[in-house]
Amino acid sequence: MTILDIHRILKKLPHRYPFLLIDRVVELDKGKRIKAIKNVTINEPFFSGHFPRRPVMPGVLMIEALAQAAALLSFESLGEQLDDDAVVYFVGIDGARFKRPVEPGDQLVLEAWMERAKAGIYKYKVRASVDGDTAVEAQLMCTVRKIN
């Protein structure tokens, strides 16, 4: 098992504030699965507008956090690091189901299982939970592309 702190995450992912949505990786089994943490605080910039009287984390950002966890799993599994000439793109999101709201003070546990890596397309089963209760689950597909 490998554990990544914020310093190693910053070396692997191109995302920065306010779009870096992973604070720590607590479990990583290369080629198989990852478990990461996102500490959700009232200081997140999206809470001022989503929603002012009842702040909840937007579902699309939960999916983005899961995609970042999946990307870390891929990079660690392949022994690669994203360089300035490459970007990770979504190519599909299937079966997304939102089961509970995520609020300030929650710790979002992000899990991704690599289901397939073929012809440059990666497929993952993903789940985010709070205190063991599923917040969202889906299947994600992405690819790495070189940019000029």
pLDDT band at 77 (very low <50, low <70, confident <90, very high): confident
Domain that holds residue 27: 6-146
Average pLDDT rounded to a whole number, residues 7-31: 94
Q: 122 with 70: CB under 8 angstroms?
A: yes
Show which residues are catalytic: 50
Residue 22 lies in a domain: yes
d(CA 104, CA 24): 18
Global confidence as pTM: 0.94
Exposure class string for 118-141: b at 16+ Cβ within 10 A, else e: eeeebbbbbbbbbeeeebbbbebb
Residue 128 lies in a domain: yes
Whichever domain contains 119, its CATH number is 3.10.129.10
Residue 133 lies in a domain: yes
Residue 17 lies in a domain: yes
22 alpha carbon, distance to own chain's centre? 7
Whether the pLDDT of residue 76 is over 80: the answer is: yes
Give the number of domains in the chain: 1
Residue 1 lies in a domain: no
Q: Residues 130-142: pLDDT tens digits? A: 999 999 999 999 9
Structure tokens at 119: 């012809």
Look at residue 123 in the predicted model and tell me its pLDDT: 96
